[in-house]
Structure 1
Amino acid sequence: MMKWKKSLALLTAALCFLSLGCGSSAQQSAAPKEKTLDEQVDEIVDSMTTTEKVGQMVMIGIQGTEVSDDSLYMLHQYHMGGVILFDRNMKSAEQTQKLISDLQGQAEQKVPLFIGVDEEGGPVVRGKDFIKPPASEQAIGQTGKVPRAEESARQTGEQLKKLGFNVNFAPVADVGNYKRSFSPDAEQAAKFVQAATQGYEEAHMMYALKHFPGIGRGTVDSHDDISAINASKEDLLAKDIVPFKSIIEQRQPEDYFILVSHLKYPALDAQNPASLSKAIQTDFLRGELGYHGLIITDDVEMGALAKHYSFRELGVRAVEAGSDIVLVCHEYPHETDVYLGLLDAVNDGTIPMERINESVHRIVKAKLLHTKS
């Protein structure tokens, strides 16, 4: 009897060993569980210092056509998380490609940089000597052929991708009768914006809908000064916001930015421009419209803000309103002030770390999805 039991035990052990289904052998041979995207994001965010997190929330312009001590200082000392290039930085395809590669290679950050450009088409294009300029949105819209918007965006995205860009600050989603808008008709404009976003996604290019909640009715250029759009909330929802809302409902939030304007919309916030308005960014855009992606300000050096607020104050107010990234396009001292103002506000508790982590999580997630070569 004992002999039989011993034989059975040996047989069971042998079968267990062969199937790797028992004991520590099975556990040791199991492959490590692959981390989810959110787990990877959490790990990166948790590893960041406060200075690194704040830097991710500022996107800057640089000077010159090659990496310099000044631009590297901004990336190393302040950990700026993104760079937008202008014609002052772009002289040829080879030079632009090298500049972007050098910026990415020398940034020494835990995630890649967002490298963006304004390549809308028509009156707003960069690098005309080596990037085929897209037609204006108005010209595309006037053809009545919606697929033209998809084709133009895809071709533009593919050109930019080859140079190393990962963000295009387009399409303009404003409703209006001017060159930067597809149509003065809200539903028609929405159809063309939808097609353009499809084109950018086909090119694997992040894009930015601008200028929320819409500047098509504006009469003063935000580069010069602040102005107001005195339309009711119902009117804004029925017209200006239609293209934005259609994308929010159809597209994945990690695939694009929404860029907020510097205009005032008294029906939504009687006091503050959209870029500094919690009522517009957090309560309306996130709360009512259900947007969960990245919010970026328009350039805070524009007269609409710069004439009325200090740069140390601007970044703080934008982030308190709900912005994830503050865009500062030109002067290093202004960019430094925005960063230091934010850092001080975090260190003294004016902006809770929870609020910073919320934005940095969104930023890092988008970067992991869209900044790989």
Structure 2
Amino acid sequence: MTLEQKIGQMILAGIDGTSIDQATRTIIAKQHIGGIILYKDNFSDLSGSVKLVNELKKANKGNPAPLFISVDQEGGKVSRLPKDFVAIPDNAKVGRTDDADLAKEMGALLAQEVRIMGFNVDFAPVLDINSNPKNPVIGTRSFGNNAKLVTKMGIAEMNGLREGGTISVVKHFPGHGDTSVDSHLDLPIVRKTTEQLEQLEWIPFRAAIKENADAVMVAHILFPLIDPDAPASLSKVIIGQQLRGTLGYDGVVITDDMTMGAIAKNYGIEDAAIRSVEAGSDILLIAHGYDTEKKVYNKLLQSVKSGQMRESRIDESVYRILSLKRKYELSDQPVPIPSSIDALNDDIRNWIDLLK
């Protein structure tokens, strides 16, 4: 692969609209991006949405590796897929059952949903512990307020997704459950020590790593008692020394969206991207703005060409990314437009009945 192609693999980008446009074709063909994330605004009806996914895959035919086609499909309020699907409840409702089998079935159902649509990555499960009742962003997205429950249910959901052939991304390391600020809007600050995180927030992530988690998403949260100079997503201490070192994780590390207020308001996104890669991130999520994606791509390319960053550092990440794509035998082959999803919806309804 050329340097340009390798840099592209490290970017996962959002797009505009419900059909492929020239700007999308450009970032795939010219910047060789490794993946796409779709949000609710990108979906039309079931048929139109599958057509969009197939068009994205077709546009990638000139590149050496298939695309990650990703979505946030957690259940509850974070549900992006078309309304054709019966709504899956939030993690809190599933957590109240305290039944790992039901959580695993949840993962299996989510995997069926996203695979029918042509996706291969789901940004789930949420492994955050809802320890702060004033948390504005996690809440019912969490399985509960204690580490034992979140670990049991989260790992079960992760395994359901994986056995269903979908790459799961556990989030948001090192833990978003005790924040009182929404990182979409600004930078949360959590004054906990490493020892405190080990005793609570790390527990589900440590378990996921022991179960060979496919990918870990790192949060935009400042932990000043651990690293006063960088939020987790840019921190050599938190990613390099703790996640990679102490916890021994050697899989794919992806940032939360770099265009969120936590980064955009407090750090230049381009410089933050460099810092994140230097800290140990493999994939930069640039969910909004073609110009922003291009600037990050160019900044990474320039940093290697100028000697600021070693190409061997890029190679480490690309190796992890390609290994994950190979593990799941990803392909840019189109998926058929489903004639009916009635059977899947019946399965979802039957599963929901078991939660009561």
Give the TM-score, by structure 2 length: 0.89
Between 1:299-308 and 1:260-269, the stretch displaced more is: 260-269
List alignment gaps of at least 5 residues for structure 2. 132-138, 334-356
Amino acid corresponding to residue 130 of structure 1 in structure 2? D
Residue equivalent to 1:56: 9
**Aligned residue type for 2:28:** L
- Which secondary structure state, in structure 1, belongs to the residue aligned with residue 144 of structure 2? coil
1:84 equivalent among 37, 51, 65: 37
User: In the aligned structure 2, how far is the partner of 1:118 from the partner of 1:52?
Assistant: 26
State the distance in 2 between where 1:104 and 1:282 align: 33
Residue 37 of structure 2: SS of its match in structure 1?
A: strand
Residue from 312, 317, 323 that aligns with 2:270 = 312
Q: Aligned-pair distance for 1:189?
A: 0.8
1:343-362 to 2 correspondences below 5 Å? 343-362=301-320
The separation in 2 between residues aligned to 1:218 and 1:70, in whole angstroms, is 36
Report if aligned partners of 1:278, 1:321 keep a CA contact under 8 Å in 2. yes
Match of 1:212 in 2: 173
Q: C-alpha distance in 2, partners of 1:180/1:258?
A: 17
SS in 2 for 1:59: strand
3-state secondary structure, aligned to 2:74: coil
Give 1:358 deviation, angstroms.
0.4
| Greater displacement, 209-218 / 314-323 | 314-323
> Do residues 149 (structure 1) and 149 (structure 2) align?
no
In the alignment, residue 238 of structure 1 is paired with which amino acid? Q
Whole-Å separation in 2 of the counterparts to 1:353 and 1:51: 11
* 1:132 Cα offset (Å): 3.0
* Greater fraction of residues in helix: 1
8 Å CA contact 2:43–2:82 kept in 1: the answer is no
Q: Report what 2:290 is aligned to.
A: 332
Alignment correspondent of 2:246: 288
Q: In the alignment, which of 115, 130, 148 is matched to residue 69 of structure 2?
A: 115
Report the CA distance shift for 1:81/1:218 in structure 2 as closer, same or farther (over 3 A).
same
Kindly indicate whether the alpha-carbon contact (under 8 Å) linking 2:98 and 2:153 is maintained by their aligned counterparts in 1.
Answer: no
Counterpart position of 1:161: 115
Per-residue deviation, residues 116-173 of structure 1 (Å, max 9, x unmatched)? 0000111111124123332111111012222111111100111111111000001100
Kindly state the Cα deviation for residue 60 of structure 1 after the two structures are TM-superposed: 0.3
Q: Deviations over 1:178-231 (max 9, x none)?
A: 201011110111000111011101211001111000010000000111121111
Alpha-carbon distance in 2 for matches of 1:295, 1:109: 22
> Residue deviations 1:98-124, cap 9 Å, x none?
111111122121110000000011111
The structure 1 segments of at least 4 consecutive aligned residues displaced by more than 3 Å after TM superposition are none
What is the alpha-carbon distance in structure 2 between the residues aligned to residue 286 and residue 79 of structure 1?
A: 27
Contact 1:157 1:204 in 2 (8 A): yes
TM-score by length of 1: 0.85
Q: Could you report, residue by residue, the CA deviation over 1:74-102 in whole angstroms, capped at 9, with x for unpaired residues?
A: 11111111000011111112111111111
Equivalence for 2:56: 103
Q: Which has the larger radius of gyration?
A: 1
* Matched-pair identity in %: 37
Classify the secondary structure of the residue corresponding to 2:217.
Answer: strand
In the alignment, the residues of structure 2 paired with residue 213 and residue 179 of structure 1 have an alpha-carbon distance, to the nearest angstrom, of 18
Deviations 1:249-287 (A, max 9, x none): 122x5xx21000000122321221000001110111011
In structure 1, the residue matched to 2:85 is: 131
Tell me the matched-pair count. Answer: 323
Which secondary structure does the structure 2 equivalent of 1:120 belong to?
strand
2:127 aligns with 173
CA deviations 1:299-352 (Å, max 9, x no partner) are: 011110001222221211110111000001011111111111111111111110
Given that 2:44 and 2:82 are in contact with CA atoms closer than 8 Å, whether structure 1 keeps it comes out as no
Alignment match, 2:186: 225
